[in-house]
Amino acid sequence: MNIRILLSCASAATFTFAHAGDAPMLGVPGKVIYENKLDSGLTAPWKAAKGKWDTAEGALRGAEKPEDKHGAVARLPNKLGDFIAEYEVKLDGANTSTFTINAVKDHMARIIIAPTYVQVQRDDNDHEGPDKAVVFGRFKADIKPGTWHKVRMEMVGDTMLGQVDEIIATGSNALFKQDRMAPGFTVAGQSAEFRNIKITEATLNPDWEKVKTALPKGEPAAPAGPVRAKAAGKAGKKN
């Protein structure tokens, strides 16, 4: 299976194609922290901050409530060290869905899944302040309604890897050295479904440097427009 990988730190970027299989990428999985099929709805310890959350055909479904003026948000209370998170998502009318991690204060990182693109980024960490989001990769995608897609986020040390199906982007940032808080989902629009989430502890893959240094120089990622606030779960306070 061909995998497109983009390695980025701030504006620098490289890309290549590689075989993924089940081999470790950034992290080597360890102890399972949390695992759930999500076929029973939003049960404890999940917390819904915004939106409507219910079940649909054996999966967790989230939808934005217009009166919230904010995307639907559901989070786990976990504080994470180095980790690997995997799940599946299906868009059924949603404009975007994300898997997102908070910092101790404000947002840290997310993978954005939309019908026509996938974006992996370090988030704006101070809302109205000088800090800005850093996009590690933004790719065209064909996320058809009603089809399941595999999503993976890895964070080890100061480095993040985001994957949706065969699209992979990575980047490093000092913010990632903070505690990673409250992993969760967001949904903008109507609606998205989630299933089979698994979060494990991770250690750095000893071959990661070989993978990283083997990547050839390439064109930088296409510039991204501003992320709609309520799609990203960004509205004056951390959600």
Q: What confidence category does residue 214 fall into, taking pLDDT thresholds of 50, 70 and 90?
A: low
pLDDT at 224: 54
Residue 91 in domain: yes
**pLDDT tens digits along 16-75:** 333 344 678 899 999 999 999 999 989 999 999 899 999 998 999 999 998 988 999 999
Flag whether pLDDT at 231 surpasses 80: no
How many angstroms separate the CA atoms of 231 and 224, rounded? 15
Q: What confidence category does residue 223 fall into, taking pLDDT thresholds of 50, 70 and 90?
A: low
Average pLDDT over residues 192-215: 88
Q: Are strands 134-140 and 117-122 parallel, antiparallel or unpaired?
A: antiparallel
- Report DSSP state, residue 146: T
Residue 119 in domain: yes
- In terms of pTM, does the model score above 0.85? no
- Please give the C-alpha separations between residue 128 and each of 32, 71, 132, 231, in angstroms, as whole numbers: 37, 19, 9, 17
Closest CA to 228 of 70, 94, 64, 61: 70
Residue 238 in domain: no
How many folded domains does the chain comprise?
Answer: 1
Asked whether the beta carbons of 99 and 121 are under 8 A apart, the reply is no
Residue 236 in domain: no
Q: What confidence category does residue 179 fall into, taking pLDDT thresholds of 50, 70 and 90?
A: very high
Q: What length is written for the chain?
A: 239
pLDDT at 130: 84
pLDDT at 126: 82
List the domain range (segments joined by +) for residue 56. Answer: 2-18+28-215
| pLDDT above 90 as % of the chain | 60
Q: Are strands 27-36 and 192-204 parallel, antiparallel or unpaired?
A: antiparallel
Residue 42 in domain: yes
| pLDDT above 70 as % of the chain | 79
Flag whether pLDDT at 140 surpasses 80: yes
Residue 230 in domain: no
Residue 120 sits in a domain whose CATH number is 2.60.120.560
